[in-house]
Structure 1
Amino acid sequence: MPLNDRQIKNAKPADKPYKLADGGGLYLAVTPSGGKLWRLKYRIDGKEKLLSIGKYPAVSLVEAREAADNARKSIAAGIDPAAAKQQAKKEKQAALLNTFEHLARQWHKDNLHRWKPNHAERLLHHFERDVFPTIGQTPIDGLAVSDIKAVLERIAERGAVSYAEKIRQWIGAVYDYAAMLEITDRNPARALAKFLPKPKAEHMPALPKEDLAEFYRRLLLADVTQQNRIALLLIMLVFVRNNELRGGQWAEIDFKQRLWTIPAARMKRPRIHLIPLSDWAAELLQELHTITGDTPYLFPSRTKQNGYISENTLGKIMNGMGYKGRAVPHGFRRLASTILNEQGFRADPIERQLAHVEENKIRSAYNAAEYLEERAAFMQWYSDYLRERYRQALAMLEAGETKAV
């Protein structure tokens, strides 16, 4: 007789496993621990096989019978339902292993020998912050061009277009790696090669961030006065315009509040400019004060009374360090903007710290926020970032890399 729900519910465990038959090979196996498991016994190609259907009550009697009927249809068509189930399970496990995040991490691990440790660490950090949360758990062969496009658009909206292009290239590299493993033959990132707008032309050459330690090494060896060396260190830290730095006055510096306030009269724009001072910036200004603190200016001229250093002073020093045509003081603004945007700091506070004017006049009229707390946070982060490269330069000198420039 076929089973009914009452029989199944009332079935009690015994010392040994036993079966309750429903007919047609379908039965309920009752285990000594009280488990109730649906099984289908069948024959295919002359061999007796067993198909696990599921556990009661998660799989009801009606559902078990339906599964058994489907299995019998497969058997009639010459398909082994147990083998098909195992194959489906393997494919599901393979799909889980072939998620974009899994393959990206595998690609990253297999390429560690090609990169410097700090680059490898940053690359993985970028994936973890901007890529994995969105597409990481999707099988790599299930991602469409629109999925990759959405990732790039979110990054580009922060103003980090160059960084978004790097992300596109790295995603494309993961797809090439997956293709090498014969997991996919697609590469939706490649289809987006011309999707992102080209960054605006930058006429002021900027120092690549990879060259920071070498730049500091050369600066430490350069035959310049300490106040001019500090001037270059500071313009890198606070990324103001050349004329804004060299015309700086001690009356503008508030050591207690850790704030440098540049009056509107000295700015290119009709508003004051606030610069939160990081630990290193404050230390450099304290050192500078022992040198030029008896004058009104941070960087007084050696030739002009009541004047400050020439607009060409810092550029000439950099030229003498071997950077003629390769980097200029104004380029440190671009360097700071690129690095801060790549780190995911918000675009509006970065633009305010750069003292850029909002092109949208209506938005500019209402956007009076100074974002001082956010700015202080990323100015300290950036200071720590640069100081680490400065320490690397000191280590180079201690190791004997003291060739004059």
Structure 2
Amino acid sequence: MPKMPAQLTDLAARKAKLKDTVYTLPSGRGLFLLVQPTGIKQWMVRFQTLEGKRGNRIVGVYPDMGVADARTAADQLHQRVRMGESPEGMRDRRRAERLSKTEEEVAAALLIEDARSHSFTVLSDAWLEHRKLGWAPATYRKSTFIVQKRLQPLLGQSDMRTLTTKNVVPVLVSLAAETPSIAIKARQCLNGIIDYCIVRGIRGDDQLLRLQRALPRHRGSHIPAITKIQGVGRLMRTVLGYEGRVVRGGLLLAAYTACRPGVVASARWSEMDLERAEWCIPAEKMKTRIEHVVSLPKQAVEMLTEMSQYGGGDYVFPGVGKRGNPHLHRDALSKALRDMGFQGQHATHGFRAMLRTVARERLKIDIDVLEAQLAHAKADEIQAAYDRARFEDERRIVMQVWADFLHEQADSATVLQMKRA
């Protein structure tokens, strides 16, 4: 993904130098500090309406409005735009309306504002912010996309105090018809938002939504993965023969380690210790929020040594294509597998299921060792508190056995292909 600009600090805003022409300093989420040649500094928010129209709005002047207040004003403006309101002259219009209204009109306006503060858009945004610190970055990005791009356009103005199951089910069914996996995640988000509202007294304890059977059943909803021995060799032979060096390296690292695609694509050289043949994945990248040390088989070390000779900056797999990403995007790995003819058969995430199934059935590897390699969370809080075994020595042996097995299968598939030719 493109690198997001960091939030502008007060020091940077204060020391922004004057130039002969107007220029902007980004602060993330569409917020910019507009610096005029006259010395005036204004906070400007760029936005896009539900109809796709782009615009910008001045929300305040620095230093009268500080960085934190500007950020809040930008978030509020984006919220209103997502709810279909016009952002033009919003603050001035509301002030003028308050001055000219009768008491009845003021009371009505307060009711409207009360409904907005309890709307799905406002409270779902609050839920995302509440969960942000406890989530891995990839989980937060995915949940934000689903809530703001899929749910808010359809439920944005709904009052969370009175939202019912029948209001939500048609939305989920519509999403399921388009993308079943998105609908499943959307249901999880909805349950989380409802729970957030109940805990804060916005809804009663008995105001749960009955969404368990809201979605139609879809066959093949699992991530596609080759878990039969007959397909492993063909898959590995095809991956090893892929022409794109960066993408091939990413797929091989996913196959050798069974790490999640996003973690593989964003791997940094600072995380790699090729002498010790270890990859130390920091906690903030892990779904469990626990640092994960991965043993690298010799085949992975050889591939990484080759990659290091090509440069590429901080990332093991530099960005490819026209997106301008600093590192390889996980979608590039999935696309490569589809282009190789494995659409619907095997996805990048499928290497995890392949290890879990094939290594267990064919190589008889202990299940606890496999679970440790996959970095799965413990089944319950008690187990997580007391069972902290990582099986690092066992995994070092197992992952070399696994890599050797993968190459043996690839060699066998190559011989078979030659005989058929």
- After TM superposition, the score normalised by the length of structure 1 is 0.46
- After TM superposition, the score normalised by the length of structure 2 is 0.45
Q: Which has the larger radius of gyration?
A: 1
